[in-house]
Amino acid sequence: MANRFLFFSSSVFALFFVALQPRQEYVYFMPLKYQKEIEQLNPDFTGFSEVEERTSYRWVFEGNDPRNFLPIYKIDEKRYKREVEKGKANFRGWALSFYQSEEDAKKELLYWVKDKPEKFKKLGTHISKGNIIKEDGLCEESCDERGHFDHFENINVELYGRFEIVQKVAG
Amino acid sequence: MNNIPGIEIIQFPFNLLTEVGTLLSNHYPTTIIFSDQEANPIIKEWVDTTDDNKVDRFFFYKTSKLNLKKFIDGEISHIDLINSSKSQYVVFQDITIDDDIVKITISSLSEIPLNYKPSNDFFFHSKDGVDVEDIKKYFDLDNLEINDNFLYEVRKIAEYNKSETIYIHLKRGKGVGAGNINTEVFGKTLLNFDNLYKNLALDHVLGITRGDISLDAKKNADYLQFTETSLYGERIAASYGFLLRPITTQFDLFGATQSEKIAEIAFNLISKSQTVESLKEEYLLHSGFTLESFKQFLEGIQRFEMKLDLNWFNPINKKEFYEDLDYIKANRIIFDIDNLAITDENEFTEKGKFRAVNCDTRHYHFTSLGEQQYTGYFDKPLKDGLVLITFLDIYEVKVSRRTIKEAGKKEARVVDTIIAYYIDKV
């Protein structure tokens, strides 16, 4: 009798508190870097997740340039404020840009230098390579046609030091 | 940063009413669109920064809505947009990160340093744009009509010179820029077109069963009036356009001129190559030489990733032809040609002399009185009589030509079999 009661109450519990619960959106508990700013821009993390390990490539400057692993809104805070005022700010401005291959990263940098030969002074002069792992934050699962993807760092993650320069492209 | 040749001024000459939006790019805004009080687009281009990134350099210029639309639509390159500035000057501004103006310099378009200009072949792609819709909406660009004013100018030139005119406008491609073009690209495109035109003209005059003709030979000088064109105007358009005309101008008192007929054949070839069904019919209307030269012309367009317009005008009867090609169409036509499977047979006669005959293999080499060269084999039943052929007599030969184009093979095989021959007794 007691077993039957236990089984019945477990079933009720399972039914009401698990199976019949409304589906929740992806809930990410680890705070991201710039979490507060990101939340103000109606972020949509569809297509983002933690990755086990992903080899990634990024435009950097030589040496310990502080811009190397900062998102564009952190590098240019005036731009962020301007875009917020105009209602044009995008949560992806708080992400870091990466490329899936060295070739893609180089091709894209050279493409922009074709339009503005001095643009490497703003974008980067070298390609660096490193691995993004699960603990690093939320990574865009797929790339665009240019091999680019965004990555939102977890708070306290420091990618600097884990990426090494593989090629000089400009400058 | 570069030294800017120009005059330093105190007051910024443009009246920037509104910042409309950023055109390029998301990584860092480098082309930003403003509007003045007359709703003219004023464009701000980032070009440089100091080593410590504390001072940025921009230049400003005024353009027209039409040119801005052409740039956004990919019709003109970025350098074309800059060079189409309404005034012939730009205004450089060096600004600190705290928005303090360090210096304003007014400079002519021609003095913009090379490292501050976009590459000749940089065109706008919509996926690179940032506030494109806002910009289009603000200037109502979607309701602007683009008229090719250059075409109007070219018609006027043709009328003034009283000359049938072929206008080739290289709108886009590797090395195609604002009023200039890479020498190799220009040279090869021109030569490929010239070669195509020559072969079409020879087909028209001699028929598609003609043999190979060397136009360099003095004896073939009579054909030059049909095959030759001359370049008589260039740089008509902001990108690169040039004018050709037939070297002989015939006024059409009695119907279309030969050059008009040749032009019509050329434009039909381009037009009908664009579907497989019409290509099959068109293929049989041209000699192998013409088709080979057409493929070469297309391969050039493909190689240099070109987009071009071809126009032809007759200023007397006002007749016009037009076609456009780009490297995507060229690629498709080449693919279709390579994958055609056609067999065609026809017969024709020629008079001329044998230059070589192999009585065992039945192979021959024959030169017509018109200096066209033919090679092939005699039909089997004729083998026994070959020993009697002389190289001094003039023969009339009847040739059965089989053209076999197999799918997957780039070229057709042409087999000319002599099925009968007679000594020509005048």
Residue B80 has pLDDT above 90, yes or no: no
Q: How far is B114 from chain A (nearest CA, A)?
A: 9
B27/A123 touch (CB, cutoff 8 Å), yes or no: yes
Contact flag A118-B47 (C-beta cutoff 8 Å): yes
**Closest partner residue to B25 among A88, A112, A145, by Cβ?**
A112
Closest residue in B to A109 (Cα) is: B27
Which pair of tokens denotes residue B51?
């080593």
- Please indicate if any CB of chain A lies within 8 Å of the CB of B30: yes
Count of C-beta atoms within a 10 Å radius of residue A143: 15
- Do the Cβ atoms of B124 and B31 come closer than 8 Å? no
Quick one: pLDDT band at residue B371, thresholds 50, 70, 90?
confident
Percentage of residues in chain B with pLDDT exceeding 70?
95
Contact check, Cβ <8 Å, A72/B28: yes
Candidates B108, B130, B119, B121; CA nearest to B30 is B130
When CB atoms are compared, the residue of A78, A88, A121 closest to B49 is A121
Contacts of B44 in chain A (CB under 8 A): none
Distance CA A92, CA A70 (A): 12
Of B29, B49, B122, the CB nearest to A115: B122
CA-based nearest residue to B313, from B149, B151, B148? B151
Q: Which of B97, B115, B119 sits opposite A118 (nearest CB)?
A: B115
Confidence of residue B253 (pLDDT cuts 50, 70, 90): low
B47-70 residue pLDDT tens: 999 999 999 999 999 998 988 998
In tens, the pLDDT along B192-221 reads 999 999 999 999 988 887 877 778 877 777
Please state, in angstroms and as integers, the Cα–Cα distance from residue A124 to each residue in A105, B26, B45, B46, following that order: 11, 15, 19, 16
Average pLDDT of chain A to the nearest whole number: 88
Chosen for mutation from A115, A143, A150 (greatest number of chain B CBs closer than 10 Å) is: A115
pLDDT value of residue A25: 47
Task: Tell me the chain A residues in contact with residue B49 when contact means C-beta distances shorter than 8 Å.
Answer: 118, 121-122
CA dist., res. B354 & res. B377, Å (int): 12
C-beta of residue B136 within 8 angstroms of C-beta of residue B142: yes
Instruction: Report ipTM (2 d.p.).
Output: 0.81
pLDDT over 90 (residue B314): no
Nearest-neighbour CA in chain A from B106: distance (Å):
20
Q: Comparing B407 with A161, which gets the higher pLDDT? A: A161
Cβ contacts of B131 on chain A, cutoff 8 Å: 88
A121 touches chain B (CB under 8 A): yes
Asked if the model's pLDDT at residue A89 lies above 90, the reply is yes
Residue of chain B with shortest Cα separation from A75:
B28
Pairwise pLDDT comparison (A124 vs B156), residue with the higher score? A124
Length of chain B: 426
Residue of A nearest to B119 (CA): A114
Of all residues in chain B, the percent with pLDDT exceeding 90 is: 49
Whether the ω angle into residue B25 lies within 30 degrees of 0, i.e. cis, is: yes
Inter-CA distances, B408 with B132, B276, B287, B334, B340, Å: 44, 14, 19, 11, 8
Residue B372 has what pLDDT? Answer: 85
Task: Write out pLDDT tens, residues A13-69.
Answer: 656 655 555 544 445 556 899 999 999 999 999 999 998 899 999 999 998 899 999
Cβ of A49: how many Cβ atoms within 10 Å?
Answer: 13
Q: What's the CA gap between B282 and B264, in Å, rounded?
A: 13
For range A83-96, the mean pLDDT: 93
> What are the helix (H) ranges across B94-222?
132-139, 149-161, 183-206
Q: Which of A65, A116, A120, A123 to mutate to test the interface with B (most CBs of B within 10 A)?
A: A116
Q: In B, residues 86-125, which contact A (CB 8 Å cutoff)?
A: 97, 114-119, 121-122
Mean confidence (pLDDT) of chain B: 88
Give the best residue of B2, B48, B76 to mutate against chain A (max A CB count within 10 A): B48
Which pTM value belongs to this model? Answer: 0.61
Asked if residue B356 lies in contact with residue B365, where contact means CB atoms within 8 angstroms, the answer is yes
Q: Evaluate whether A93 touches A38 at the Cβ level (below 8 Å).
A: no
Mean pLDDT of B405-414: 74
User: Residue B110 is encoded by which pair of tokens?
Assistant: 């021609």
| Region B272-290 average pLDDT | 87
**Which residues of chain B lie closer than 8 angstroms to A121, CB-CB?**
48-49, 53
- Note whether B169 and B241 are within 8 A (CB): yes
Looking at chain A from residue 70 to 99, which residues have their Cβ under 8 Å from any Cβ of chain B?
A: 72, 76, 78-79, 88, 97
CB spacing of A118 vs B131 below 8 angstroms: no
Taking the alpha carbons of A18, A21, A24, A28 in that order, is the dihedral positive or negative? negative
What is the tens place of the pLDDT at every residue in B317-367? 888 888 989 999 999 999 888 888 778 888 999 999 999 999 999 999 999
Helix (H, G, I), strand (E, B) or coil at B93: strand
Instruction: For tokens 């009585």, name the residue.
Output: B359
Give the mean pLDDT of B382-400. 93
Smallest CA–CA distance from A67 into chain B, residue: B53
Closest-CA residue to B293 (of B213, B373, B233): B213
The separation between the first and the last C-alpha atoms of chain B, rounded to the nearest angstrom, is 85
Strand-strand pairing, B307-313 and B165-172: antiparallel
Asked whether A98 and A132 are in contact (CB, 8 A), the reply is yes
